[in-house]
Amino acid sequence: MRSSHRVFVQSSENRYHLVFMKTSLIILLTLAGLFVQTNVRAQKPKDLADFWEKQHISKMFPSNVRHRDLKNYLEQLRKLEIKVEEVGRSYGNREIYQIEWGKGATRVFLWSQMHGDEPTATSALIDMFAFLQKNRDKDWVKRMEETLTIRAVPMLNPDGAEIFQRRNLQNIDINRDASNLQSPEAQLLKRLRDAWQPHIGFNLHNQNNLTTVSGTTNQAAISFLVVEGQPELRNEEGNERNKRLTAAMIVALQNFIPGSIGRYVDAYNPLAFGDKFSDWGTPVILIETGALYGKDELFLVKMNFVAFLTALNALVDGSEKSFSTFNYDVLPKNGAGNLFNYIFRRANIVNNSGEILEIQVADIALNAMRRPAGEFVITTVQTTGSLVSFRGLEEYDTSGFYLFPKFGGALRAGTIGEFLFYKKDRQIDWKALDLEKQFPPDAIFSGGKWIKPLPKLN
């Protein structure tokens, strides 16, 4: 009996230890799985922003990047053993390149700067590819490499980029050449799409710096549009997926630019590439980068970087399925017309037109032309009057000064925004032939900045 009892106890203990070991193993495997899943999936927006801060290779403001600078960036990618190849030439015979990374079955295609003066995403693409290649040891990047093949054409319009203009050297808007295909750049873009048949497209642009979020005077720093295509040709499944991916990007960017994300407003256009890509079977997400007062161009590069990697990672780990299209559907639409670069409040405008000299009290709104960073900025008068319902990114109380248009004449919409300011207690001969020399102004506004600052009044 005792011997039998000892065998029974030992057998029971063995079973207990076996169950304990199995349970422990299951727990360990579960925890390991959760760790891997967390490592693969939980890429927080702040983490992505920090990655960019520490590792980005774009150093110039995007508006100053020319074709030779792009080639320097691409050479850095080649040194990282990223595939970069020339795929065509522009009308001006400049090389157009395609970058490729990953070896997965899902094909993602991005293109930037088909408008030469819309450069932000070009730098963001360079930074994204460099980051992915340098961080292939990270589980989530490794998973992305195995799941996706990503191709991108940075700077589709190198001729326009060279002179910072929208159109190419044929004076063709490439983004309105999807049907006629008169430009070599448009022909190339269609050929690249048709040969590869990507599952998702990202059309990357810049919008007006003064585009607002509808119902506010907040600048729309980033705007999105899921380009659905013609109703009879729509890929509903692809469009719904793109709305969820866009929702993921919206949620991520709210951490940095809350209240400054809009929904781009555009009707179907059979001449535009985003619409035609969707018609041809590649559902497109349009990303339009605007501006944000107080933040420079590289901040917006970072926002694009965060958006790209958020969307791609959500696609890879399946988390996009957990996002609701509601986030996209309720996104406020873009607005315009209620925000200006500068407003001079209650200015005493000296209108010197011929024999008539008139002093008019009004607000003056100026806007600045989009120019490369560091270049002289041309500003023009947009409107005058009582502008209480409008906002300027910069506003100045000029009620204690006379404002004289530097080039004379009556101030009206379209007038160049070059102004001389004089304290109201001074006696000025407004008819003087060399007014600025004979009566040195108290302040000068030129090129979008104060050459001589507006003094404080007692």
Q: What is the pLDDT of residues 128-170, one digit of tens each?
A: 999 999 999 999 999 999 999 999 999 999 999 999 999 999 9
| Distance set, CA 134 to CA 51, 126, 127, 145 (Å) | 11, 12, 11, 12
Strands (E) located in 299-426: 334-335, 339-353, 356-368, 379-385, 391-397, 401-405, 419-423
pLDDT at 308 over 60: yes
pTM of model > 0.85: yes
239: region left, alpha or beta (phi > 0 left; psi from -120 to 50 alpha): alpha
Q: In the predicted model, what is the mean pLDDT of residues 197-221? A: 98
Q: In the predicted model, what is the mean pLDDT of residues 205-228? A: 97
Q: In the predicted model, what is the mean pLDDT of residues 419-423? A: 98
Q: What is the mean pLDDT of the chain?
A: 91
pLDDT at 15 over 70: no
What does the alpha-carbon distance between residue 45 and residue 251 come to, in Å, rounded to a whole number? 9
Q: How confident is the model at residue 42, as a pLDDT?
A: 52
Which of 27-36, 78-87, 348-357 shows the highest mean pLDDT? 78-87
Provide φ and ψ at 81, rounded to 5°: 70, 35
Q: In the predicted model, what is the mean pLDDT of residues 262-283? A: 95
Q: In the predicted model, what is the mean pLDDT of residues 412-419? A: 96
Q: How confident is the model at residue 1, as a pLDDT?
A: 41
What does the alpha-carbon distance between residue 255 and residue 46 come to, in Å, rounded to a whole number? 8
Pairs from 364-369 (Cβ < 8 Å, separation ≥ 24): 364/403, 364/411, 365/340, 365/390, 365/392, 366/340, 366/341, 366/342, 366/417, 367/210, 367/340, 367/341, 367/342, 368/341, 368/342, 368/448
